[in-house]
Amino acid sequence: MRLKGKVAIITGGASGIGECMVDLFSSEGAIVIAADINEAALEKANQKKNVYGMKLNVASDEEWQVLAKEVNDRFGKIDILVNNAGIASEKPFQEINLDDWQKMLAINGFGPFAGMKHVAPYMAAQKQGSIINISSYTAQIGQGYNHYSASKGAVRAISKAAATTFGWQGVRVNALFPGIIETPMTKALSTSKELLGQLIQATPLQRLGKPEDIANAALFLASDESSYINGAEIVIDGGFSAQ
């Protein structure tokens, strides 16, 4: 019960890494709000103990404002925010246009920014809180000349800046940098055995990541065990980007 009595919002909580975090955090005693744009998928979340599915488009400033207030009013506080919702794209760089760029940056970049903007004040009011932003290994090394990497670079930069902005009010902000994790987002990879084999070969730990690998690190950052960790970056990629 490492999160006993805590109230957590996890965006993108209806699938993949987010869904895994929802299950782990609730099993560790938290009340979890699984916030996602996919309402149909949230029905499953709503059937879980201590989990509340709420519709949220993370790219909407207004929806964030309403959700943060609603959670705080209903549960009395917000202790944890995981900015995990995101989209990816396989488009080659020659085909990426301004609309693609703006949509990607709106969801993957503005989403976490707006989440912190609206939730951190509630955390600051109780002088404690933990925010975990999900970036990507592509924000750290030269992989992916595209809008996805740019959006994850934005997450990296605002996470550091937020740690120095909200830390003074007792709110910690840290970021996770997953490598390739087996989720619906990366399911296309499994259709090519050759590519899959190459990726595994290129990873020192000789496997792809699992949602649990990210959820366990998020649990540590969400819990009081990490109470002096603020502005940290944890890469979870089996050593791929260390090469």
Ligand X SMILES: NC(=O)c1ccc[n+]([C@@H]2O[C@H](COP(=O)([O-])OP(=O)(O)OC[C@H]3O[C@@H](n4cnc5c(N)ncnc54)[C@H](O)[C@@H]3O)[C@@H](O)[C@H]2O)c1
Binding-site ranges for ligand X (CB under 6 A): 11-12, 14-18, 36-38, 41, 56-59, 84-88, 107, 134, 136, 178, 180-181, 183-186
Least distance (Å) from ligand X to the CB of residue 229?
Answer: 20
Residue pair 8/25 in contact (Cβ under 8 Å)? The answer is yes
Query: Among all chains, which residue has been given the structure tokens 């955090």?
Result: 25
Residue pair 231/174 in contact (Cβ under 8 Å)? The answer is yes
- The angle, 0 to 180 degrees and rounded to 10, between the axes of the packed helices 16-27 and 211-222 is 50
Give the nearer residue to ligand X in terms of CB position, either 167 or 202.
202
Residue pair 30/7 in contact (Cβ under 8 Å)? The answer is yes
CA distance 70 to 94: 43
List of E strands, 86-232? 129-134, 171-178
Give the nearer residue to ligand X in terms of CB position, either 83 or 223.
83
Nearest to residue 63, comparing CAs of 85, 43, 46? 85
Least distance (Å) from ligand X to the CB of residue 152?
Answer: 7
Give the nearer residue to ligand X in terms of CB position, either 36 or 79.
36
Least distance (Å) from ligand X to the CB of residue 34?
Answer: 9
Least distance (Å) from ligand X to the CB of residue 18?
Answer: 6
The set of catalytic residues is 148
Give the nearer residue to ligand X in terms of CB position, either 89 or 128.
89
